[in-house]
Structure 1
């Protein structure tokens, strides 16, 4: 399985190459428009980041587990921004 660092790097590349800001990326993947990324929406982000289909579901669960600070099962804008900041520091 790809390392966390490699996966986060691929996500960073998608965000920086395809969107003007992290907020644009968040809004693009928030297909439901509810201000939160569901597991299904995160899987689409991972697909865009060329994460193998075999591990997308596992990685999306781990991302939610790691960044969902309010434990609602979604990644909201604040949590997404914190994840992007962490990725950019890495």
Structure 2
């Protein structure tokens, strides 16, 4: 299974290669524009980052568990930014 570091690296590559800023990436994947990424929106991000198909749901769940600091079941901009900072 892919490690956390490998997954974060793939997300970083996606953001770097396809978006001008992390904010632009966040807005792109926030399909309902509510300022939070749902599990489904995280799955779309992971698929775009070329995380293996059968792993995406499990990885999205783990990302939520690791970065959803307020426990609302979604990743908001501050939580997303925290994940981005881990990539640097």
TM-score (norm 2): 0.98
Q: If the length of structure 1 is used for normalisation, what is the TM-score?
A: 0.96
Deviations along 1:12-32, one digit per CA (max 9) or x if unpaired, are 000111000000000000000
Q: How many matched pairs?
A: 88
Report the alpha carbon displacement of residue 87 of structure 1 after superposing the two structures with TM: 1.2
What's the RMSD between the two structures over aligned residues? 0.5
Gaps of 5+ in 2: none
Show CA shifts across 1:1-60 (max 9, x none).
111111110000001110000000000000000000000000000000000011100000
Q: Displacement, 1:61?
A: 0.3
Tell me what 1:52 maps to. Answer: 52
Instruction: Tell me the residue number matched to 2:61.
Output: 61
Distance in 2 (CA, whole Å) between partners of 1:61 and 1:80 is: 14
Deviating beyond 3 angstroms after TM superposition, the runs of 4 or more aligned structure 1 residues are none
